[in-house]
Amino acid sequence: MKLQQLRYVLAVAENGLNITAAAERLHTSQPAVSKQIRQLEDELGLKLFTRRGKSLTGITVEGQEVVERAIVILREVENIQRIAQNLKQESRGVLSIGTTHTQARYVLPRVITAFREVYSDVSLSLHQGTSEQLADMVESGLIDFVIATGGERLFPELLRLPCYRWDRVILVPPDHDLTRLGRAPTLQDLAKHPLVTYVFSEKGESSFKSAFARQGLVPDVVFTARDADVIKTYVRLGMGVGVVAAMAQDVADDGLVALNAAGLFPRVTTWLGFRREAVLRNYMFDFISRFAGHLDPWTVRRALETSSQADVDALFADQALPMRGAGGELVPEPGVPA
Amino acid sequence: MKLQQLRYVLAVAENGLNITAAAERLHTSQPAVSKQIRQLEDELGLKLFTRRGKSLTGITVEGQEVVERAIVILREVENIQRIAQNLKQESRGVLSIGTTHTQARYVLPRVITAFREVYSDVSLSLHQGTSEQLADMVESGLIDFVIATGGERLFPELLRLPCYRWDRVILVPPDHDLTRLGRAPTLQDLAKHPLVTYVFSEKGESSFKSAFARQGLVPDVVFTARDADVIKTYVRLGMGVGVVAAMAQDVADDGLVALNAAGLFPRVTTWLGFRREAVLRNYMFDFISRFAGHLDPWTVRRALETSSQADVDALFADQALPMRGAGGELVPEPGVPA
DNA sequence: CGCGTTTACGTCGTTCGTAACGATA
DNA sequence: TATCGTTACGAACGACGTAAACGCG
């Protein structure tokens, strides 16, 4: 058994069982891949793939077991290489981040810009997706970091570091009824209007709906979208009252007024997660620290030494996490309608 | 990086940094090992070992990191091979068990005899040691199974399957005072006599001492040994009253009388433990099932699907574990002194 | 001088790429 | 016939073992 053979098997499994495509991605010839896989099968004495005629049609159950272990093996091989590169102060490297729209659009740009200036040799890639997709991507090793909110049960194997907290904010057209309340809106106020907000995560409990339910109210959600830009568009069209993350609110949002929603919904924590077994490159520590100031390398290493997520949470329990988003700045003060 | 290089590094690290010894264990030449290690160091660009002149004097910190990951990698490689061998119904294999004296001497012989008759091609090895030593051995992959008692905190990473429970039994010479009580001895009775029992485990809390302490008594332990045979010898010499595991009591123990100690000390559970990541060969499932009838392959696989030891414990919570040892059979009934 | 490591070199096995072949839809 | 996998073969590479050299106690 050789590491190349495992790499080849994995590449084939990850490229739709197409040996030609796998060979291209591996920068080698297709007979090389074909032969190595066959040799591994011979050595192990089992078929990793099912074949019809000459083309691969599926992975056998044992093949799947082998693939899973190959992932672990190659991951650790990469860890060894990262250790070496860290020591050599090698500045080249890769950092791929999986995240949701809100982070990618409103929070990360500043961090990434600054990061790229310092680490020009680090190839940075951003993958946007739903929580479910991110979970798959991080599991398969496609991405190093996940930056997301909620979903504790979706990412059970990740070490999650709390980064900051945020409230929601209410967006309405300038002449909307809610702007004439003379005070910040309540849930009762909101329940009287059609609402436009985020798609509810498939698995996570919807803190949005339950906030209303707790007061015996049923929100009239007329439209949901994955990102705040779409929501804003429909609010401008007068489809309803928008409820978005405070970070997504921009002073330059013309045609919209932001109203404070702090306290109406539970605060949300954005965290950064990665696999516990991962060896982090130095620039990864720096990225984390740039993204969340309190997560300096020393603190992150301490979190890595814990044995469970509960211990990590305890590490940060006594710290007041920073708040993000301008939600508080555009509050219509009592008697001062926007 | 190649798997052989990792194997070589590991062998050198495990053989006192002696390349020659490592080469012999690997059935290869010593220059081969020397060269491969050097090549890996060159490829990674770091020194794995510290050298004085030409001889290795130590492992660098990075070398240690690499060794730890190499262990994981090679373990998974072995798992892949086991999967293949299981499928081929390959009957050859290795099974090494680490255990304590009591199990090795009194419980395992019958199981092992029967097992060897069926699996003559499985090379079986037994390693006796203290809990601490066993923990090291299983961690380094030297042994597949640990069969022991207590020590939950000593084996945190093992999947532990409860096998059976047992009480202690009291051993005295035939003419001893305790045989004339006309009833089973109490802790008060025991506290009046010099006692001979097991060495207390270094890290585990001593359930022996605390049983006395709970009644405000202090046992007069005059001698401790690692195994019951030694204890019996000293009881025969009249050094004191023996307290041993019920399994260790043998009807053929001439010159000794066994008195019931059930209820005096907390019941002890013997468990069988192995690493969660391990792939078990079919004969290993069979061994477990022979050792503890309720641990059939199906049940063990179910335990393997759990995510924590707590879940495993819950699996067996409602089952009455079998008792082992003849302690109950030689009880001096009230009014019937032995 | 013994012990252990490294260097040198010849041999053998293995991997790879190109090119031709085979099978499938 | 286009697509994809396998077979064939020559070239390059790499691992290993023997033998000799080197350093250190």
User: What token pair was written down for A176?
Assistant: 């909307």
Distant-in-sequence, close-in-space partners of A256: CB < 8 Å, separation ≥ 6 = A171, A172, A173, A174, A232, A235, A236, A242
Own/partner long-range contacts of B306-313 (Cβ < 8 Å, ≥24 apart): B309/B152, B309/B159, B309/B160, B312/B159, B312/B160, B312/B161, B313/B162
Beta bridge partners of B195: B221, B241
A324-334: average pLDDT: 50
Distant-in-sequence, close-in-space partners of B146: CB < 8 Å, separation ≥ 6 = B97, B98, B99, B134, B135, B137, B138, B155, B158, B272, B273, B274
Nearest residue of A to residue B89, measured between CA atoms: A45
pLDDT band at A239 (very low <50, low <70, confident <90, very high): confident
pLDDT of residue B201: 67
Interface test with A, best of B69, B74, B277, B280 (most A CBs within 10 A): B69
Whether residue A326 is predicted with pLDDT greater than 80 in this model: the reply is no
pLDDT of residue B181: 82
Whether residue B328 is predicted with pLDDT greater than 60 in this model: the reply is no
Distance CA B9, CA B41 (A): 10
Query: Do residues A326 and A251 touch, judged by C-beta distance below 8 A?
Result: yes
Whether residue A330 is predicted with pLDDT greater than 50 in this model: the reply is no
Query: Do residues B173 and B323 touch, judged by C-beta distance below 8 A?
Result: no
Distance CA B144, CA B284 (A): 9
pLDDT of residue B333: 38
In the predicted model, what is the mean pLDDT of chain A? Answer: 87
pLDDT in tens, A167-214: 899 999 988 888 888 788 899 999 999 999 888 765 555 778 888 888
User: With an 8 Å Cβ cutoff, are B83 and A76 in contact?
Assistant: no
pLDDT band at A328 (very low <50, low <70, confident <90, very high): very low
* Residue B278: other Cβ atoms inside 10 A: 19
pLDDT of residue A202: 57
pLDDT-wise least confident of A132-141, A234-243, B204-213? B204-213
pLDDT band at A334 (very low <50, low <70, confident <90, very high): very low
B260-279: average pLDDT: 90
User: Is the CB of B157 inside 8 Å of chain A's CB atoms?
Assistant: no
User: With an 8 Å Cβ cutoff, are A87 and B3 in contact?
Assistant: no
Distance CA A231, CA A244 (A): 8
User: Is the CB of A69 inside 8 Å of chain B's CB atoms?
Assistant: yes
CATH number of A168-260: 3.40.190.10
Cα–Cα–Cα angle for B323, B324, B329, rounded to 5 degrees? 95
pLDDT in tens, A281-319: 999 999 999 999 999 999 999 999 998 899 999 999 878
**Nearest CA to B6 among A80, A214, A111?**
A80
User: Is the CB of A153 inside 8 Å of chain B's CB atoms?
Assistant: no
What is the second-level CATH architecture of the domain B3-86? Orthogonal Bundle (1.10)
Q: Where along chain A do the CATH 1.10.10.10 domains lie?
A: 3-86
Minimal C-alpha gap between A154 and chain B (Å)? 15
SS3 B164: strand
| Lookup result for tokens 């078990």 | B280
Residue nearest to nucleotide D16 (CA to C1'): B32
Q: How far is the CA of B35 from the C1' of D16 (A)?
A: 10
User: With an 8 Å Cβ cutoff, are B46 and A77 in contact?
Assistant: no
pLDDT of residue B248: 86
pLDDT band at B263 (very low <50, low <70, confident <90, very high): confident
Give kind and range of the element (H or E) at residue A134.
helix A131-139
In the predicted model, what is the mean pLDDT of chain B? Answer: 87
Whether residue B294 is predicted with pLDDT greater than 90 in this model: the reply is yes
User: Is the CB of A177 inside 8 Å of chain B's CB atoms?
Assistant: no
User: With an 8 Å Cβ cutoff, are A1 and B2 in contact?
Assistant: no
B4 touches strand D (CB under 7 A): yes
pLDDT of residue A329: 39
Q: What is the length of chain A?
A: 338
User: Is the CB of A308 inside 8 Å of chain B's CB atoms?
Assistant: no
Whether residue A242 is predicted with pLDDT greater than 70 in this model: the reply is yes
Residue B333 gets the label, from left (phi > 0), alpha (psi -120 to 50) or beta, of beta
Q: How far is the CA of B22 from the C1' of D18 (A)?
A: 19
Which residue of A66, A84, A88 is in closest CB contact with B80?
A66
B51 touches strand D (CB under 7 A): no
Residues 271-290 of A with CB under 8 A from B: 279
Q: What is the tally of helices (H) and strands (E) in chain B? A: 13, 13
A239 touches strand D (CB under 7 A): no
pLDDT of residue B327: 54
Whether residue A331 is predicted with pLDDT greater than 50 in this model: the reply is no
B306-327: average pLDDT: 83
**Nearest CA to B325 among B261, B272, B282?**
B261
Instruction: State residue B313 phi and psi, 5-degree precision.
Output: -60, -40
Cα–Cα–Cα angle for B27, B32, B35, rounded to 5 degrees? 150
A72-80: average pLDDT: 95
| Lookup result for tokens 């495993």 | B312
Q: How far, CA to CA in Å, does B123 sit from each of B89, B96, B140, B287?
A: 16, 8, 19, 13
In eight-state DSSP terms, residue B265 is B
pLDDT band at B271 (very low <50, low <70, confident <90, very high): very high
- Find which of A254-268, B27-41, B151-165 is predicted with most confidence, using mean pLDDT: B27-41
Minimal C-alpha gap between A56 and chain B (Å)? 20
Whether residue A273 is predicted with pLDDT greater than 80 in this model: the reply is yes
Q: How far is the CA of A19 from the C1' of C11 (A)?
A: 34
Chain A residues in contact with B72 by the CB 8 A cut-off are: 72-73, 76
pLDDT in tens, B92-120: 899 999 998 888 888 898 899 999 999 99
pLDDT band at B204 (very low <50, low <70, confident <90, very high): low
Whether residue B241 is predicted with pLDDT greater than 90 in this model: the reply is yes
Q: Where along chain A do the CATH 3.40.190.10 domains lie?
A: 93-165+268-331, 168-260
pLDDT of residue A218: 87
Interface test with A, best of B36, B73, B275, B309 (most A CBs within 10 A): B73
User: What token pair was written down for B51?
Assistant: 């050298």
**Nearest CA to A176 among A265, A258, A264?**
A258
* Residue B199: other Cβ atoms inside 10 A: 12
In order, the DSSP letters of B204-262 are: S--HHHHHHHTTT---EEEEEESSHHHHHHHHHTTS-EEEEEGGG--TT-TT-EEEE-B
Distant-in-sequence, close-in-space partners of A310: CB < 8 Å, separation ≥ 6 = none
Higher pLDDT, B48 or B323: B48
**Nearest CA to A249 among A158, A322, A168?**
A168
Is the torsion defined by CA of A149, A152, A153, A156 positive or negative? positive
Interface test with A, best of B36, B39, B77 (most A CBs within 10 A): B77
In order, the DSSP letters of B19-85 are: HHHHHHHTTS-HHHHHHHHHHHHHHHTS-SEEEETTEEEEE-HHHHHHHHHHHHHHHHHHHHHHHHH
Chain B residues in contact with A2 by the CB 8 A cut-off are: 2-3
Q: How far, CA to CA in Å, does B108 sit from each of A257, B31, B97, B267?
A: 77, 43, 10, 20
Whether residue A336 is predicted with pLDDT greater than 50 in this model: the reply is no
Whether residue A337 is predicted with pLDDT greater than 60 in this model: the reply is no
User: Is the CB of A79 inside 8 Å of chain B's CB atoms?
Assistant: yes
* Residue A177: other Cβ atoms inside 10 A: 12
Q: Residues 39-78, chain A: which have Cβ under 7 A from strand D?
A: 51, 54-56
CATH superfamily of A93-165+268-331: Periplasmic binding protein-like II (3.40.190.10)
Nearest residue of B to residue A62, measured between CA atoms: B83
- As a whole-number percent, the residues of chain A with pLDDT over 90 amount to 44
User: Is the CB of A1 inside 8 Å of chain B's CB atoms?
Assistant: yes
Q: What is the largest CA-CA distance in chain B?
A: 80
Query: Do residues B291 and B180 touch, judged by C-beta distance below 8 A?
Result: no
The pTM of the full predicted model, rounded to 2 decimals, is: 0.82
Task: Give me the amino acid identity at B326.
Answer: A
pLDDT of residue A4: 93
Whether residue B322 is predicted with pLDDT greater than 90 in this model: the reply is no
Distant-in-sequence, close-in-space partners of A150: CB < 8 Å, separation ≥ 6 = A131, A201, A204, A207, A268
Chain A residues in contact with B88 by the CB 8 A cut-off are: 45-46
What is the DSSP pairing of strand A257-260 with strand A168-172?
antiparallel
- As a whole-number percent, the residues of chain A with pLDDT over 70 amount to 94
Whether residue B329 is predicted with pLDDT greater than 60 in this model: the reply is no
User: What token pair was written down for A48?
Assistant: 């990793």
In order, the DSSP letters of A245-287 are: EGGG--TT-TT-EEEE-BTTB--EEEEEEEETTPPPPHHHHHH
For chain D, which bases have at least one atom within 7 A of a protein Cβ? 4-8, 15-20, 22-25
Distance CA B108, CA B86 (A): 24
| Lookup result for tokens 């009957």 | B91
Whether residue B331 is predicted with pLDDT greater than 60 in this model: the reply is no
Q: Residues 76-105, chain B: which have Cβ under 7 A from strand D?
A: none
Whether residue B139 is predicted with pLDDT greater than 90 in this model: the reply is no
